[in-house]
Amino acid sequence: MASPPPLLLLRSLLFLSLPWFFISSTSSNPTPQPYVVYMGSSSNGDREDVEAAELSHLQLLSSISSRQKSQKVSLLHHYFHAFRGFSAMLMESEASELSGHEKVLSVFPDPVLQLHTTRSWDFLEVGSSDQTRSQYHHPSNDVIIGVIDTGIWPESPSFSDEGVDEVPARWKGTCMGASDFKKSNCNRKLVGARYYGIQSSSSSGTGTGTESTKVSGSPRDSVGHGTHTASTAGGALVVNASYYGLAEGTARGGLSSTRIASYKACTEEGCSGSVILKAIDDAIRDGVDIISISIGSSSIFQSDYLHDPIAIGAFHAEQMGVLVVCSGGNDGPDPYTVVNTAPWIFTAAASSIDRDFQSAVVLGNGRTFTGSAINFSNLTRSKKYPLVYAKTAAANFTPADEARNCLPGSIDRTKVAGKIVVCVDIYPMGSRKIKKLVVEDAKAKGMILIGENQNGDPFDSGVFPFTQVDNVAGYKILKYISSAKYPTATVLKTTAVSDQRPAPTVASFSSRGPGELTENILKPDIMAPGVAILAAVIPKNEPGTVPVGKEPPKFSIKSGTSMSCPHVSGAAAIIKSVHKAWSSSMIKSALMTTATFVNNEGKPLMNSSKSLANPHEIGVGEISPYRALHPGLVFETTPKDYLKLLCYLGYSQKNISSMAGYEFHCPENSGDELISDVNYPSISIGKLSRHGSARVVTRTVTNVGPANSTYIASVDSPMGLTVKVYPSKIDFRPNAGRVSYNVSFQGKEAAGGYSFGSLTWSDGRHSVRTVFAVNVE
């Protein structure tokens, strides 16, 4: 019998000698919990292999453990390519001891993050000529987007590889098989699929006392979120796609030749931070160009950069030239709710497009009111049903206020069965889905919800007749109920309405800035379509969702910054396909400085409250992918810039060096206010003293246009805020492709609070716009 490999033998000996790997079964010991142990950059040029990484992690654990021999424990995940670390089951005391180890940057409980959950691409291309678009829609482009989400449904036509070239030789990923997922499900379009399922341990049978870890699961999507985001980012062209006839047209991603690699890190219950870190490490190693993550923490519990798994993974992706795009969260419209705000992350806000989904209410007196909804009602105009206000149908001992809001247990079934029920939307604790289920469960015929749909996202009620009307229409409906002897109504099937104006507008749910960790970087970065987006889904046949005689849909309509994120990822893929040598920060800059700040009426962008939108809502504006192909100038932000930023935030030089993978020296002068000087494509000053001197920030631009160019600066600033640029004219020549300039801000006469404006450099052909946000105190 052959001898075991040296590394395997050493690992077995380590397992035998490690008292940490045995835990007493007595109830006096605390229960171990999953923790992430982050150890910085993998400075090894070839990177560690998995066995070497596992051994080093075991050695580290042996140095701090004092457990007794009884129960075996296994490590959960190893990070060894772009960065070093692992996740393991630790007791709090062990985690505390590990956090003080010289090789460890941070130790934190494994967080459970949440999902942030067509015509949209056509809408983004308004104003781009057919020649410009077709020039770059060519299947020879080999950009790979790694989508970290709930997995993928490979049979969807959005992942067909028809007309797509062979998989690039640089691709090092894999297609993991499972009982419901064949390796042959991957193709030239879907180039890879990984999963990180439930881990179980069993004896290795070698007599060494070690454990082997088996992972059960599948790359297949059982939720639908990952399939939707992946097809939005890089789906193939699918003609006549629709959601049961709604939003019919050609579904596609940003660039139909883009490759997709799927990393299943989430379930319906959420996403483990340790698994997301593993997926990021794998994606970098596999060779993706862009990573798309429609996942994030709650805005209430945001971690600092060394305890945030997405921020950690994204930093090392940036080090290795991989752009990470993330959703900004769905906790708007309150300020300070945006998440995924690390400067090295491209953070997306959500907007509407020029399409709406409407469902009409027809009253017994002939009056018709238009509501917002997605329903596949089989009701018709010719037949009306009794109409009742839920307030008058309260169950026994139920406050009328609860009944009119249609909260669980508040309605008397006998008073609403077979009728159209009118509810109001006042209590935030009762979502539209809950209200609909309450009414449907009471055997009602349909439902009218009164309340402003500021989110703009239509609720999908499936086959149940539902619509949401505004307060004005709602008042008239209630007045009709109170005045008619026998009030009746019907709710009609949804129709799609195109060419809505104004569009885009900011979605109310889209999380707002400023960022909680620092206000000296503007977040979110940019806005993209995230309301009522048609894309591929898994064909689920859930009760009440599929119309009679229909098959489960291949496409569906979803809303959230989860949907805006893959639009930005797809836009970045368009840039990467043309400018293959551009760094991630150059791509990010190109999209930011060319973003549009006007709607389809030619007026400034608005929010859901019909007020002017500001950069804490939209970042620099709405993405304009084809304008970004020729930005003229770009801002290059390097990993060294981000390391300086960490110095300014007060992180230790030792930890920053570990993140860098080399000895890094912080500037002598460090302070949060210096973050504004990081060479970012936008400018944010979190505190400008009204009585102090002018604040000067520096920026450096790189010419990516004609070698001989001259740019002139123009400033759009609010009254009272004095903004000056010097020099106001910059020249580029073949031997001088980078130029620095200064911008000064003086707020002596400015209003208190945030002021917003922009600086634009123009050479007559290119307009390079930098948005600024300045908080005057």
User: Which of these is catalytic: 149, 281, 331, 460?
Assistant: 149
pTM of the model: 0.90
Task: Tell me how far CA of residue 484 lies from CA of 65, 386, 488, 489, in angstroms.
Answer: 77, 11, 9, 12
- Asked whether 616 and 753 are in contact (CB, 8 A), the reply is no
602-628 mean pLDDT: 95
Continuous segment of H or E residues that includes residue 473: helix 471-483
pLDDT for res 68: 53
Share of the chain above pLDDT 70, in %: 88
Half-sphere exposure of 109 (CA within 13 A, CB side): 9
pLDDT class for 114, splitting at 50, 70, 90?
confident
Res. 16: pLDDT tops 70: no
- Residue 728 DSSP label: S
pLDDT for res 223: 94
CA dist 462 and 435 (Å) reads 14
Confirm whether 149 is a catalytic residue: yes
Tell me the β-bridge partners of 753.
776
Confirm whether 225 is a catalytic residue: yes
Res. 52: pLDDT tops 90: no
Res. 552: pLDDT tops 50: yes
User: Which of these is catalytic: 562, 585, 589, 670?
Assistant: 562
CA dist 288 and 539 (Å) reads 28
4-14 mean pLDDT: 36
Q: For residue 156, give the nearest of 252, 249, 81, 92 by alpha carbon.
A: 252
Res. 123: pLDDT tops 80: no
pLDDT for res 5: 40
318-346 mean pLDDT: 96
Burial grade of 626 (CB within 10 A; 0-12, 13-18, 19 or more): buried
Both tokens of residue 39? Answer: 């150890």
pLDDT class for 74, splitting at 50, 70, 90?
low
Res. 206: pLDDT tops 50: no
- Summarize pLDDT for 181-205 with one digit per residue, the tens: 999 999 999 999 999 975 544 433 3
Q: For residue 510, give the nearest of 525, 521, 500 by alpha carbon.
A: 525
pLDDT for res 124: 58
Res. 616: pLDDT tops 70: yes
Res. 216: pLDDT tops 80: no
More confident residue, 41 or 427: 41
More confident residue, 427 or 133: 427
- Summarize pLDDT for 715-740 with one digit per residue, the tens: 999 999 999 999 999 999 998 899 99
CA dist 518 and 645 (Å) reads 10
Sign of CA dihedral 531, 537, 543, 547: positive
Share of the chain above pLDDT 90, in %: 74
Res. 27: pLDDT tops 60: no
- Summarize pLDDT for 252-297 with one digit per residue, the tens: 998 888 999 999 999 888 999 999 999 999 999 999 999 999 999 8
Confirm whether 304 is a catalytic residue: no
pLDDT for res 494: 96
CA dist 348 and 329 (Å) reads 8
pLDDT for res 65: 62
pLDDT class for 25, splitting at 50, 70, 90?
very low
pLDDT for res 177: 95
Contacts of residue 376, Cβ cutoff 8 Å, sequence gap at least 6: 244, 462, 463, 493, 494, 547
Res. 3: pLDDT tops 70: no
Tell me the β-bridge partners of 712.
729, 762
- Summarize pLDDT for 571-596 with one digit per residue, the tens: 999 999 999 999 999 999 999 999 99
pLDDT for res 47: 52
User: Which of these is catalytic: 57, 77, 81, 225?
Assistant: 225
